[in-house]
Every structure is written in C-alpha cells, then in structure tokens.
Amino acid sequence: MILTILYEDNHLIAVDKPRGIPTQSDASGDPDMMTLVKEHLKEKYGKPGDAYLGLIHRLDRPVGGVLLFAKTSKAAARITAAWQRDEVEKRYLTIARGLPVPAEGRLEHWLLKNTDRNLVSVCAPDTLGAKRALLEYRTLATRDGLSLLAVTLLTGRSHQIRVQLAAIDHPVVGDEKYGPKSGAPLSLLSLHAVSLRFDHPVRREPLQICSRPPLLGPWSRFTDHIASFYE
C-alpha cells in the first residue's frame, strides 16, 4: 500500500488513512497504519530497530482521513495533553440518511461502550461508565433522501458520530453496525476525517492538516458541495 503523507516534520507525521485499514495491529493480522508509518520512518531515516511512534488518536477501521502520530515523546505528551483539554479541532464529513431537522445544531448524548462486542449505545446520564458526547453538525447539501453533513467533534468518544446520528434516526450511509443492515459487508461507510487543527506542540504555531474523501459511491453525489467545503 502506498502511504500518503499529509504532513511531516521532526516532531509529527500525519497520514491519509484509507478506509478498511486498522489504525494499529489487531487480531485480524491485517496491515495497519502504525506499522506502515514505522516502516516509512525506518526506511527514510535509516533507523535501526523499532522507530519511535506515538499514537495520538484512532480512527475506526471503516473510516478514512487524517491520522496523526508523534515522532518524539515530547511531541506525543504535549499533543495528547492538548487533545485531552479539547484544544484540537476535529472535523468530519459524512453522508447521513434523511434530512436532519434542524439543518444544523448540537447533539448531546451519554454513551456506554460494550468492549466485548465493540458496540456503543446511548444510555441514561447516571449509567455507570457512561461518557458525555457532544458534537456540532451542519447540513451542506441534500440529495435523493441523503444529507451531506459537516461535523465538528467536541468530545472524542468511540464510534461517536455514528452512534449519535443513528440516535436521531439519521444513521451514516453504509454503517452496518448502527444503521440498517444491507447485507453488503463491503459497503462504503460514508464518514471521513477531513481535518485536524491545533497549535504545533513545539513551535506553538497554528497548524491545520486536511484530507479529502474519495469521490466514490455516495460521495460522488455531492462532488461540487465537497469541493466548495474546502474552498
């Protein structure tokens, strides 16, 4: 697999994660992004042994887009702290079923993860282990009963966008876990991590890293609107 690097300096490296590739190694034994990036670093810089690479965040296996790693422990500690303080802006594009009303707004739910089943559900706020989830969405376009949404995560919970949109009856197109079952296991999950914006952990300068979704399947219906989103 060709590794697409979106940004790299002495402290950070961000890559364009294809959908279907796990962020880090799992029981499947399939190639994963963390291993691929480590191999890139070893080859590019001639580093013997295991190159250091700090995992900052994860993207679900069927989700593509911006994936950020740290190349030094100092950068990893600082960017992780900024992430925990919600100082990293995380934006996504997604295609949802139906037309959300209102066309833009904020969603708040309490989520509980079943780690054995890798399944997240909406629950009561006082549920043991529940975590508060917040996001903002804006409808960019609608077509054929589908809506192109820009989503900003205000918290970073597992499967958050997928679960919260399904909870308001507008599941992500192609989501076999939280949406209607189509019986097509290779259907395209229409969710893409389009940008991260934060202060560089060492230089303290604003940094924005962007990725565009592949204009395939449902995405192809919104080509012009996606192009306008990046202008």
User: Across 41-45, 182-186, 227-231, which has the greatest mean pLDDT?
Assistant: 227-231
Is residue 220 within 8 A of residue 173, CB to CB? The reply is no
Task: Indicate the pTM of the whole model.
Answer: 0.93
Q: How many beta carbons lie within 10 A of that of residue 174, not counting itself?
A: 21
pLDDT digits (tens, 9 = 90+) for 108-122: 999 999 988 989 999
- Provide the H-helix boundaries in the chain: 33-45, 73-84, 160-167, 223-229
pLDDT at 161: 97
Residue 185 confidence class, pLDDT cut points 50, 70, 90: very low
Mean pLDDT of the chain: 93
- Secondary structure letter of residue 58 according to DSSP: -
Q: What domains can be seen in the chain, in order of their start residue?
A: 5-229 (3.30.2350.10)
| pLDDT higher than 70, residue 86 | yes
Q: Which of 188, 189, 209 is nearest to 57 (CA)?
A: 209
| pLDDT higher than 90, residue 26 | no
Q: Which residues pair with 67 in a beta bridge?
A: 15
